[in-house]
């Protein structure tokens, strides 16, 4: 696909500077772009590439535009504009409807004529698959599950029985939706499995990364609301609820019955304990441990930054004596107060 720079400016409401007649065919990084590519500046750290880039045009903020004299689309949110240009120039492959001969499809499944069922896929009894759904190779859709229109299940995705997937979702390879939650009751030295009787319910416009797992609810449902984005290797336990337009980075673990609000951003390797609540508009920085509820919007962190190991060992040793040191400091403050009075 090819469009002129002027067409891009009009479509995405950016201010055009320079030659609007040039043809743009793709997006690229500043250092790899050619004359028919468009690139953007993520931060001032990339200004060093502005004098050498061969890009036909750049997407820039007003501040960035002062550092580059060439063709540009100037906008308040360059990253968003660039993402939309990338999507326009690289549309997903059109779905060719049909059923691969090697797919196993129960006769009671309701599958839209516009859907594609790929090789070695398994579609069980009572499944509903709506218009323009893509079911990739090796996928399993369990009995009674429903897949909403325009959703794509890429290779080896499992949607367990009774689970609901909304419209326009993308499930990347290896994602598992609706496996049993980790629920056990203690019987002496033994663990007795607690039946997991709920579902996993996924809203519209959700993207779920490779090998991410979302457990079904124990009694009620596990609910992932509209617009949520989950990275690769995320574990969502039973009865978790995640609010609209929250983003969760890779290797996050969310324990059972935690409730995460709307528009949150959870950094990589964050651990979230069960049965707590996180308010709307919370950002949790990478590797933090959330062990209690967060009731106010804001940015939170509990992890320590990397430092030379010798310094880290000293600090770790001192940390073990923190309570003792606090008591000694308190006693010293009392003595000073007596001397002053």
Tokens of 23: 């043809």
Same domain? 76 vs 145: no
> What DSSP string describes 194-221?
PP----EEE-TT-EE-TT-EEEPPSSS-
Give the tens place of pLDDT for each residue, 163-174.
999 999 999 999
> What DSSP string describes 45-86?
GGGGGTTT---SEEEE-HHHHTT--SSEEE-S-HHHHHHHHH
Query: pLDDT at position 293, please?
Result: 98
Burial 250-289 (b: 16+ CB within 10 A, else e): bbbebbbbbbbbbebbbbbbbbbbeebebbebbebeebbe
Same domain? 104 vs 226: yes
Domain of residue 157, residue span: 98-300
Same domain? 274 vs 225: yes
Same domain? 84 vs 106: no
Same domain? 82 vs 107: no
Query: pLDDT at position 4, please?
Result: 98
- Rounded Cα distance between 287 and 109, Å, is 43
Catalytic residue of the set 10, 100, 238, 275 = 238
Query: pLDDT at position 256, please?
Result: 97
User: Residue 158: which CATH number?
Assistant: 2.160.10.10
Question: How large is the average pLDDT for residues 260-288?
Answer: 98
Same domain? 197 vs 248: yes
Query: pLDDT at position 341, please?
Result: 79
Query: pLDDT at position 291, please?
Result: 96
pLDDT band at 333 (very low <50, low <70, confident <90, very high): very high
CA-nearest of 212, 206, 253 to 232 is 212
Same domain? 79 vs 136: no
Query: pLDDT at position 180, please?
Result: 98
Same domain? 321 vs 291: no
pLDDT band at 198 (very low <50, low <70, confident <90, very high): very high
Domain final residue, candidates 89, 116, 145: 89
Using a pLDDT cut of 90, give the percent of the chain over it.
92
Give the tens place of pLDDT for each residue, 109-129.
999 999 999 999 999 999 999
- Rounded Cα distance between 132 and 171, Å, is 15
Tell me: pLDDT of 305 over 90.
no
Same domain? 30 vs 79: yes
How many domains is the chain built from? 3
Query: pLDDT at position 205, please?
Result: 98
Query: pLDDT at position 132, please?
Result: 97
DSSP label of 43: S
Q: Which residues contact 305 (CB under 8 A, 6 or more apart)?
A: none
Query: pLDDT at position 113, please?
Result: 97
Rg, the chain, Cα only: 26
Same domain? 187 vs 262: yes
- The mean pLDDT of the chain is 96
Catalytic annotation present for 238? yes
pLDDT band at 331 (very low <50, low <70, confident <90, very high): very high
Tell me: pLDDT of 319 over 90.
no
Same domain? 218 vs 135: yes
- Rounded Cα distance between 186 and 135, Å, is 40
Same domain? 84 vs 112: no
- The pTM score is 0.91
3-class secondary structure, 236: strand
Query: pLDDT at position 1, please?
Result: 84
């Amino acid at each position: 696909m090819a469009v002129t720079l002027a067409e891009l400016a009009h479509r995405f409401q950016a201010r055009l500077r320079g030659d609007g007649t040039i043809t743009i065919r793709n997006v690229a990084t500043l250092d790899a772009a050619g004359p028919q590519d468009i690139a953007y500046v993520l931060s001032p750290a990339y200004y060093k590439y502005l004098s050498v880039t061969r890009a036909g045009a750049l997407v820039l903020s007003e501040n960035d535009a002062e550092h580059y004299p060439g063709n540009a689309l100037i906008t308040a949110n360059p990253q968003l504009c660039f993402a939309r240009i990338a999507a326009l120039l690289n549309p997903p492959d059109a779905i060719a409807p049909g059923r691969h001969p090697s797919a196993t499809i129960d006769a009671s499944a309701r599958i839209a004529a516009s859907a594609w069922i790929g090789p070695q896929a398994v579609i069980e009894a009572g499944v509903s698959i709506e218009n323009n759904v893509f079911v990739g190779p090796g996928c399993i859709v369990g009995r009674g599950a429903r897949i909403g229109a325009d959703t794509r299940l890429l290779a080896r995705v499992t949607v367990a029985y009774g689970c609901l997937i909304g419209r326009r979702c993308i499930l990347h390879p290896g994602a598992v939706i609706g496996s049993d939650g980790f629920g056990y009751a203690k019987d002496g030295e033994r663990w007795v499995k607690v039946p997991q009787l709920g579902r996993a319910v996924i809203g519209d416009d959700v993207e779920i990364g490779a090998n991410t797992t979302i457990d079904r609810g124990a009694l009620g449902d596990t609910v992932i609301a509209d617009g949520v984005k989950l990275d690769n290797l995320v574990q969502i336990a039973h009865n978790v609820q995640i609010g609209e337009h929250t983003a969760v980075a890779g290797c996050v673990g969310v324990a059972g019955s935690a409730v995460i609000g709307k528009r949150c951003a959870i950094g990589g390797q964050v651990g979230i304990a069960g049965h707590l609540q996180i308010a709307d508009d919370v950002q949790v920085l990478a590797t933090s441990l959330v062990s209690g509820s967060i009731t106010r919007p804001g940015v939170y962190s509990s992890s320590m930054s990397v430092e030379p190991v010798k310094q880290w060992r000293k600090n770790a040793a001192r940390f073990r004596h923190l309570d003792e040191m606090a008591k000694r400091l308190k006693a010293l403050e009392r003595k000073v107060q007596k001397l002053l009075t």
